[in-house]
Amino acid sequence: MRYKQYLIHEGRSKEITQDQAFEIIYRKCDQAWQAYQNNKIFFRGLNKAGEYLFIDPKSGKPRKSANSDNYYTLLVDNSPLWKKYPKRSESIIGTSSYRYATNYGEVYEVFPYDNSKIGVAPQNDFWFSFSNGLGSGNSLNFLNFKLKKLFNQYDVTIKDNNFNDFKKSLDRLDVELRNDIDNLSILDIVTKTWRIKSESFIDNLNRILDPKPNHFEVVTNMNDIPHKGNERELWTDAKCVMIKSALGAGGGLNPHLEQYMEKGL
């Protein structure tokens, strides 16, 4: 079966054969292959049977923040400051570190299609990558906690299933804060800059999560992923092939893939 016959499918991923995986990489993923040879690899840990997988992250339902409130995903996906980046809710999440990927299950090597957008966090976890906006040592859990506390304090109903409902909650909170500005008791990094700059509350949150001062990057070639630190969270909304990694068994480049790519078999 040729690759065009199985790119359209239900759900985000499906198991494919070795020949199918290699053919897609040969035809569609040359940049990722070149980066792979330069030890710039997109790893993903997951509990999934099968040696070879094809994934289309934009298919199926948008993903929500795992094990937490969905606040930051909605903000990042809908902020104009993040428009050059792949949407988190429509992406697969991985890392530049084999070691870090082992925390999430069996390790796969990810080969995105050529010229695909890849987000690069400054740390090995997006959760801890906003020290400029949230202050050193604070994670996105800090932001979630402060927002929930504000919503409760001002009796604002919060819904985080979609951005329109979430924005209505933030706009309502903005009104409540302005009505109570002289008695506002929670003056921390989540509210203080909003008060000083007299901006909307959602604009304040967007600025806290601004990718530029927080040192995020976006690349369209795997070779441009920075080596510094060698542990960065990566995410992409591109179609990808995933191959179970041999590195854990002391292996290196997949010899069968290397032969296939050299000869175009």
Residue 6 has a pLDDT of 37
Query: Does residue 1 surpass a pLDDT of 50?
Result: no
Higher-pLDDT residue of 180 and 123 is 123
**What is the arithmetic mean of pLDDT over 208-234?**
89
More confident site: 60 or 260:
260
When comparing pLDDT for 200 and 21, which is higher?
21
Asked if residues 111 and 32 have their Cβ atoms less than 8 Å apart, the reply is: yes
Two tokens at 177? 């804060």
C-alpha 227/C-alpha 177 separation (Å) is 43
pLDDT of residue 265: 53
Pairwise pLDDT comparison (65 vs 130), residue with the higher score: 130
Q: What is the pLDDT of residue 146?
A: 85
Written as one string, the DSSP assignment of the chain is --GGGSSS-SSSEEE--HHHHHHHHHHH-HHHHHHHHTT--EEEEE----SEEEE-TTSSSPP--TTS-SHHHHHHHH-GGGTTSPPGGGSEEEES-HHHHGGGSEEEEEEEPTT--EEE-SSS-GGG--HHHH-TT--HHHHHHHHHHHHHHTT-----SSHHHHHHHHHHHHHHHHHTTTT----STTTHHHHHHT--HHHHHHHHT-TTTTT-EEESSGGGS--TTS--EEEE-S-EEEEE-SGGGT--S-HHHHHHHHHT-
Span 221-234, average pLDDT: 82
CA distance 162 to 132: 27
pLDDT at position 217: 96
What pLDDT, on the 0 to 100 scale, is given for residue 68?
65
Contacts of 216 (CB under 8 A, 6+ apart): 85, 119, 120, 121, 122, 129
pLDDT for the residue 5 = 39
pTM of the model: 0.87
pLDDT in tens, 136-164: 888 999 888 888 888 998 899 988 888 99
Task: Find the mean pLDDT for residues 3-18.
Answer: 61
CA 115 to chain centre: 17
The arithmetic mean of pLDDT across residues 98-118, rounded, is: 93
Given this model, what pLDDT does residue 246 score?
76
d(CA 45, CA 48): 9
Positive or negative CA dihedral for 13, 126, 204, 153? Answer: positive
Kindly report, residue by residue over 70-94, the tens digit of the pLDDT: 899 999 999 999 999 999 999 999 9
Average pLDDT, the chain: 84
Span 46-58, pLDDT tens digits: 886 689 999 999 8
Q: Are 36 and 225 in contact (CB under 8 A)?
A: no
- Name the residue with higher pLDDT: 2 or 83: 83
**pLDDT given at position 13:** 79
Residue bearing the bigger pLDDT, 68 or 256:
256
Give 119 or 249, the one with higher predicted confidence.
119
Residues facing residue 16 across a β-bridge: none
Task: Name the band, by pLDDT with cuts 50, 70 and 90, for residue 29.
Answer: very high
Check pLDDT > 60 for residue 259: yes
